[in-house]
Amino acid sequence: MNARSEPVTLMGVVNVTPDSFSDGGRYLDPNKAIAHGLKLAAEGAAILDVGGESTRPGSEGVPAEEELHRVMPVIEGLADAAPAARISIDTSKAVVAQAALGAGATLVNDVTALRGDPEMAHLIADSKADCCLMHMLGDPRTMQINPRYDDVVDEVKAFLEQRMQFAIDAGIPAQRILLDPGIGFGKTVEHNLELLRRIDELVALGRPVVIGTSRKSFLGRLTGRSDPEERIAGTVATCVMAFEKGVTVFRVHDVAPVHDALTVAAATVAPWTTSPTSTTR
């Protein structure tokens, strides 16, 4: 599997939170979040990833009731207003995932890779939903305190293989699983760069690889851009490089520039037909 043969999918980020690292508070009003999701879909996002809990370094988490209160009106509104887009729920709580799936979500993006809630794997197995399994070292409260690996790529790969086997054993077919190295989740700048350099080793696991480099702090460290909104060029660079190595799903805040960049990148490696993005993964 490589960039030349697999369709590209953009996953637009819809954060319904007061405290997300780059857009906290901007879309807490459900109407604003729905409008934002519709804009991202119009720009080329085939998946809208709705989240009600920030996982930024140091964050403490929110109770399920609050998460439900934030995300449900937005999922219901997007299911109604953007029927062509797939909705993903970014949560590690089974009760939130269950409500979201009931309202039309078809993908569970669990940053704990099914370790956060013992009910999550069976819930997904019993549904028709896909799931994204992401690597994280520790938890958001502690993950950026001196993260260490002998070989970050080997360790992330072994973790993802093990979590994929766990999911399969719980009854989730392999074809419904996406894998994500968890850029910025318990990683230094050099760990993130090493993962991007050798991301083809994760692509070799045979499932679609998702990357979420969008606006993250390692881009700020590299470019000197402290404002996350000024990290779009850095985001684009990582997406194009990862695309060339076979990554097919890109979780981004800024869909339009990444869509354009991947359209051009795709045209340089295969005969140009239309947009490289697809409405399915």
Tell me which residue has its CB nearest to ligand HH2.
Answer: 212
Local structure of 177: helix, strand or coil: strand
Task: CB nearer to ligand HH2: give 39 or 56.
Answer: 56
User: Which are the contacts of 199, defined by CB distance < 8 A and separation ≥ 6?
Assistant: 181, 209, 211, 242, 245, 246, 247
Rounded Cα–Cα distance for residues 139 and 136 (Å): 7
* Least distance in angstroms from the C-beta of 135 to ligand HH2: 9
Q: Are 119 and 165 in contact (CB under 8 A)?
A: no
Local structure of 227: helix, strand or coil: coil
Local structure of 252: helix, strand or coil: strand
| Rounded-to-10 torsion of CA 91, 133, 159, 139 | -20
Q: Is 216 a catalytic residue?
A: yes
Q: Is 176 a catalytic residue?
A: no
Annotated catalytic residue within 70, 86, 163, 216: 216
Annotated catalytic residue within 187, 198, 215, 251: 251
DSSP letter, residue 250: E
Task: CB nearer to ligand HH2: give 72 or 252.
Answer: 252
Task: CB nearer to ligand HH2: give 93 or 251.
Answer: 251
Task: CB nearer to ligand HH2: give 41 or 268.
Answer: 41
* Least distance in angstroms from the C-beta of 270 to ligand HH2: 26
* Least distance in angstroms from the C-beta of 268 to ligand HH2: 26
* Least distance in angstroms from the C-beta of 267 to ligand HH2: 27
Question: What amino acid occupies position 135?
Answer: H
Q: Contact positions toward ligand HH2, by CB under 6 A? A: 13, 15, 17, 20-22, 51, 54-56, 90, 109, 111, 132, 134, 180, 182-183, 210, 212, 251
Number of H helices, E strands in the chain: 10, 8
Active site residues: 216, 251
